Amino acid sequence: MPSTARSSMLRQTFRAILFTVILLVAFGSAFCRFRKEPPPKPPMAKCLDDLKRIPEISALMGNQKRADSDQARPLEGVEIALTINEMVSSVSRPDDDIDYWCENENSLANLNKLIGALQTNRMPPTVAFIVGQTADNVTLTRWLESGNLLGNMTFSRLKIRRQEPQPFFADVIKNDNFLAPLLAQYNIKQKYFRYPRSKVSRDTEFREQIRDFLKSQNYTEAVAMIETPDWQFSDIYCAAQSRGDATCVNLIKESFKTLLLDTAIRTHQAARNKTERNARLILSLSMNQFTCDSLGEWLVWLQNLGVRFISLDEALTDAVYRDFDDKGRPLFQAILRTAQRSRTMDSKAK
């Protein structure tokens, strides 16, 4: 075949192939345009899904029986010491917060908001338990200037390992050395310690070894009797705010208050069953965007429910934090387990 004819045939073949590709692309684009996309979830459905991912809320929603809160002041006469876990920084951390809905959480404005809520409600000095690795001297100083106190929660949240407690002890001492200059500057001599993630060893011998160490460092243990996952609420709260979903924001706030009340009542009742009296309770909250925005409202609400706020020192005079039950367990642990088990049993009773 002559080269001219062969070239002409190749051009025709190329045009045919190109035309076919164009048709396929056009058809594919049309198909993509007309393909039915799944409808997005309604805003309220998404809000409920987010809340149900919090195990405590999921259990609460499934409860056929909640703690008795029908009376107007269900916490009448209950004495509670408020404590805080960790603290916001004075400036944001772009590398850490870039994928976090509460990206503006770290600011002096948020710290001042929380301090203002404490002062407005005339709260006793509040202890914030600090992890030195993430601490900020600017906010720690502001906290102490406002009349509040600091406690030790280890330098890096190091987990206690039974076989080798020395690294844990070293982490406590490292945080002690970090906090010591600030405490000395404000002439604060009382030293408080809280276990990271509130994990207290169940092994009697090992627990005593840890307690002996803490006593040798002049620390007073300050476990929490009322705990809520407020830090889990914070992220979905900020996400709802960012999309302008006021209805979801209100639902998150009310859900948290319902959980807090349920937890407080169950703990109070479990303590009464174990001690035959009203035990002084310790409440722990995390310092996050949700708590900074809401603490003032929660304090007024709890006081209206009958709570009397006391200092941590007053709460720690209660024997419930020193005594043991008939199985040799710390009494506060037995109370916590009883309260948690009552919620689980109620959620399964259908």
Backbone angles phi, psi at 324, to 5 degrees: -125, 155
pLDDT in tens, 235-249: 999 999 999 999 999
Query: What local confidence, expressed as pLDDT, does residue 62 receive?
Result: 76
Contact by Cβ (8 Å): 319, 243 = no
* Pairing assessment for the beta strands 127-130 and 226-227 based on DSSP bridges: unpaired
Question: At 100, which helix (H) or strand (E)?
Answer: none
Domain range 43-348, its CATH number among 3.40.50.300, 3.20.20.370, 3.30.450.20, 2.30.30.40: 3.20.20.370
Nearest to residue 321, comparing CAs of 147, 193, 162? Answer: 193
Residue 210 to residue 91: CA distance in whole angstroms: 35
The neighbouring-strand residues paired with 221 are 193
**What's the whole-number mean pLDDT along residues 26-48?**
57
Please check the confidence at residue 26 and state whether its pLDDT lies above 50: no
Q: Identify the residue with better confidence: 333 or 149.
A: 149
pLDDT band of 263, cuts 50, 70, 90: very high
User: For the chain, what is the mean pLDDT?
Assistant: 85
Calculate what percentage of the chain has a pLDDT beyond 90: 65
Query: What local confidence, expressed as pLDDT, does residue 322 receive?
Result: 92
Residue 114 to residue 13: CA distance in whole angstroms: 75
Contact by Cβ (8 Å): 89, 290 = no
Backbone angles phi, psi at 92, to 5 degrees: -70, 160
Please check the confidence at residue 18 and state whether its pLDDT lies above 60: no
pLDDT band of 43, cuts 50, 70, 90: confident
Query: What local confidence, expressed as pLDDT, does residue 9 receive?
Result: 45
pLDDT band of 60, cuts 50, 70, 90: confident
> How many angstroms separate the Cα of 344 from the Cα of each of 29, 60, 66, 260, 329?
53, 9, 11, 16, 21
Q: Which residues contact 103 (CB under 8 A, 6 or more apart)?
A: 92, 97, 238
Query: What local confidence, expressed as pLDDT, does residue 341 receive?
Result: 87
**What's the whole-number mean pLDDT along residues 202-212?**
81
Query: What local confidence, expressed as pLDDT, does residue 219 receive?
Result: 97
Nearest to residue 261, comparing CAs of 52, 60, 86? Answer: 60
Nearest to residue 265, comparing CAs of 67, 83, 80, 76? Answer: 67
pLDDT in tens, 281-328: 999 999 999 999 999 999 999 999 999 999 999 999 999 999 988 888
pTM: 0.84
Please check the confidence at residue 79 and state whether its pLDDT lies above 90: yes
pLDDT band of 99, cuts 50, 70, 90: low
Nearest to residue 64, comparing CAs of 264, 261, 350? Answer: 350
Query: What local confidence, expressed as pLDDT, does residue 64 receive?
Result: 56
Task: Reduce the DSSP state of residue 171 to 3 states and report it.
Answer: helix
pLDDT in tens, 118-176: 999 999 999 999 999 999 999 999 999 999 999 999 999 987 876 688 999 999 999 99
Please check the confidence at residue 11 and state whether its pLDDT lies above 50: no
Please check the confidence at residue 273 and state whether its pLDDT lies above 90: yes
| CA 151 remoteness from chain centre | 17
One-letter amino acid for residue 205 of the chain: E
